[in-house]
A and B are shown apart, each in its own frame.
Chain A
Amino acid sequence: MDLSRRGFLQAAALTAAASGLTVACGSGSGSAGSKNGKNLTLWYWGGALSDKVVAEAKTHFSKDVKLTVASIGGDFKSKLTTTLAAGTSVPDITGIKGEDMASFLPNAGRFLDLNDLGFKDISSQYLDWKTKLARTEDGKQIGFPIDIGPTALFYRADLFDKAGLPTDPDKVAERAGTWEDYFALGTELKKQVPGTYLVNNIGSVFNMAVGQGTERFIDRDNHFIGDQDHIRKAWTTAVRPYTLGLDAKINDNSWNAAVGKSLSTELGAAWHALDIEQAAPKTKGKWRVCAMPGGPANQGGSYLALPKQCRNPEEAFKIISWILSPKNDARGFADAAIFPAAPAAYSDPAMTGGDPFFGGQKIIDVFGPAAKSIPAAYEAPADAAVMAPFMTELTNIEAKGKKPDAAWHDAVGQAKQIARRQGVS
């Protein structure tokens, strides 16, 4: 690779140099020198960290380093990938989304091993299944868990009440213990309160159902297993609300408009509370949360990592372990619905209070237990790419009325092909 790239560069440089263009044949990264830089940059995306905690971190460490923070919009992963590939303007500390972590692991060499910097001494404070997902097979820890996304069922208590259904979280959880129970509840709800839908789209159901299992699309031996029973079962579950007419089929930008009106429940991770709150501020107090049908899954939840180019690894590690200490992590929950990856935080007063948006419900009582019982599943680097056709085919069912069996057949066919392309056998 390097050889061909150098050849490419030389040829291009020759062409360019002839024109008198000053082509600076840089060494790629200008930060190769000393490792005790005084300027550190931190990349994250809006809502990944508590802005308040980050602001405090700036002042807290101001005597040692100057921390510059950049909130990156758009496609965070491709931005990070291209920057790492380029090796210039690489951030010293960067966020990595949970769903992208697997695809960065094969290139763990681009990051520092956090265990060398002291993570192994504090790792026991963080949920083991989450930490493990950011560790290579040979034990290199590249990600420091920020948060997790324990999922639950959000529901509109006022609509449940109108339909004569129980509104108390425990009772609702009981009534919606399995997916079938949940759909039965939805059918009832729709009968009593016409014009409402149980789920926004069936892709979200599929996503949750897959996350409830211990296996995903590719196993540890790098074999494609997306055509096996566990995925098929998740698929069948996902298609149910569609056939029952409980699916709002929202696949465009109108979720915001619908969430305060026609959607009676939402399946989502803890951070999804913020989405709902922002999209439908008028429904404050009407929502409640309870355990998800069929058990919890994890959705999202991110990491902080230190790229190899980090100008001051010691200090950078100090900063991230400060920002993500259980105490500070707990505050992120109140600020930005970031659910800490450190169980010690769950008993922190910042988390045990009632949430006015949920009518004063102590939502930690739902998410806390969920967090601890999330099944750990192996996520292969190509997992997200292989999952995409399943999601697409589910929208095909919704948008084109495609027959679910034909959609399944096509999804598996395409997924296999993408898997082959990505080197999965």
Chain B
Amino acid sequence: MTAAVKRRSRRPKGLTAHIVLGLAVLISVFPFVWTVVMATNTTEDIYKSPPKLTFGSHLLENVRHVFDTIDFFGSMLNTLVVACVTTVLVLFIDSLAAFTFAKFDFPGRRVLFAMLVGFMMLPLQLAVLPQFILMSDIGWVGTLKALVLPALANAFGIFWLRQYIHNGVPDELLDAARIDGAGFFRQYWNIVLPMIRPALSFLAIYAFVGAWNDYIWPLVVLTDPGHLTLQVALAQLHVGHTTDYSMVMAGVLMASVPLVVVFTLFARGFIAGATEGAVQGT
């Protein structure tokens, strides 16, 4: 009887769940489809009312316009460099600090960690102005260094990894390693890093996406038009009274697709980092 009740109650519920989730997926993905529609048509088609709803054949033309208007590949390369360097360094700095906070006791540890958590609450917009003055005083305005360095101080990453290491890396393992003669850094490198890989991949995507999509700081600090990031270049496409929408949309498409592809490729590890990895302790 319980089995019968279970089956009866589960079927419609499962179906409803799939319908709701399916709708949510449609809403999530629709903008990408619609962006493609706009990017493959002409601006006139977009301005038509009702607008054209089907794919057009003007993609190449629009893409060419994008290339004519902004240095697309240059800014893409800049963004890629900034995002990659930032991600790698953040992973290293944060995991090392997280390991230290999670597994060692040293004078001042509590205070330092409390400060770190407090930092998470500071609105960094406050820093934009003086950061800019600082950058200009040390002559970094307009350089990619100016984008990477401030992004390296990622309090969230340390906080998050610390929890993971604290609960996910058994002390016994570290004790055993120490008895075998492994020093601080070798414990970190040989034991901790491999064990927290799922958490790292979550943080990696988080940091990479954050660096890729950062907007206000690059907008302010990148004064040299040869050194723009993709987001700033994209915003420049969209300026002025007369907006060539199909061209802008082609730019939006080209700027978003790489990230979506990278994400989908690494999504397995990323999702695992956020979910399955979280329950490996059970």
Q: Which residues in A have some Cβ–Cβ distance to B below 8 Å?
A: 5, 8-9, 12-13, 21, 23-26, 28, 30, 43, 46, 70-74, 79, 82-83, 85-89, 253, 255-257, 275, 278-279, 282
Contact = CB atoms under 8 A, between A and B. Distances in A.
A412 B133 CA distance: 34
A389 B137 CA distance: 35
Contacts of A9: 134, 137-138
B241 A275 contact: yes
Contacts of B224: 89
B53 interface: no
Task: Tell me if B's interface is mostly helix, strand, loop or mixed.
Answer: helix
Contact of B139 (A5, A26, A275): A26
B135 interface: yes
B138 A25 contact: yes
A13 B274 CA distance: 38
Given A88-B141, A89-B141, A89-B142, A46 B240 contact: yes
Interface stretch (B9-17, B20-28, B231-239, B262-270): B231-239
Interface string B127-162: 000101111111101100000010000000000000
B170 interface: no
A73 B138 contact: no
A255 B134 contact: no
A396 B243 CA distance: 24
B236 A257 contact: no
Given A5-B137, A74-B219, A253-B243, 13 more contacts: A8-B130, A8-B134, A8-B137, A25-B138, A28-B139, A70-B225, A73-B237, A82-B141, A86-B135, A88-B223, A89-B142, A89-B223, A279-B241
A43 B132 contact: no
A24 B139 contact: yes
A85 B133 CA distance: 8
Interface residues of B, number: 36
A385 B70 CA distance: 30
Nearest to B132: A82
B33 interface: no
A5 B138 CA distance: 11
B226 A70 contact: yes
B53 to A, nearest CB: 17
A72 B225 contact: yes
B207 to A, nearest CB: 20
A402 B4 CA distance: 64
Which of B133, B135, B235 gathers most chain A CB within 10 Å? Answer: B133
Given A73-B70, A89-B142, A256 B137 contact: no
A9 B130 CA distance: 10
A254 to B, nearest CB: 9
Given A71-B225, A73-B70, A86-B136, A256 B236 contact: no
B282 interface: no
B242 interface: yes
B47 interface: yes
B94 to A, nearest CB: 16
B216 interface: no
B139 to A, nearest CB: 3
A278 B245 CA distance: 12
Contacts of B233: 73
Q: Indicate the member of A73, A87, A89, A255 with the most B CB atoms within 10 Å.
A: A73
Nearest to A282: B44
B271 interface: no
Interface in B58-77: 69-70
Given A74-B235, A85-B136, A86-B141, A256 B223 contact: no
Contact of A74 (B133, B136, B232): B232
Contacts of B70: 73
B93 to A, nearest CB: 11
19 contacts: A8-B137, A21-B149, A26-B139, A28-B137, A28-B139, A30-B139, A46-B69, A46-B240, A71-B225, A74-B235, A79-B223, A85-B133, A86-B141, A86-B223, A89-B224, A255-B241, A256-B241, A256-B243, A278-B244
A23 B139 CA distance: 9
B220 interface: yes
A278 B241 CA distance: 10
B134 A73 contact: no
Contacts of B44: 282
Contacts of B142: 83, 86, 88-89
Closest 7 CB pairs of A and B: A73-B236, A86-B136, A26-B139, A86-B141, A70-B225, A83-B223, A257-B47
A82 B222 CA distance: 10
A257 B141 CA distance: 39
B12 to A, nearest CB: 45
A256 B235 CA distance: 18
Contact of A88 (B139, B235, B240): B139
B243 A74 contact: no
Contacts of B49: 257
A12 B134 contact: yes
B242 A74 contact: no
A149 B228 CA distance: 31
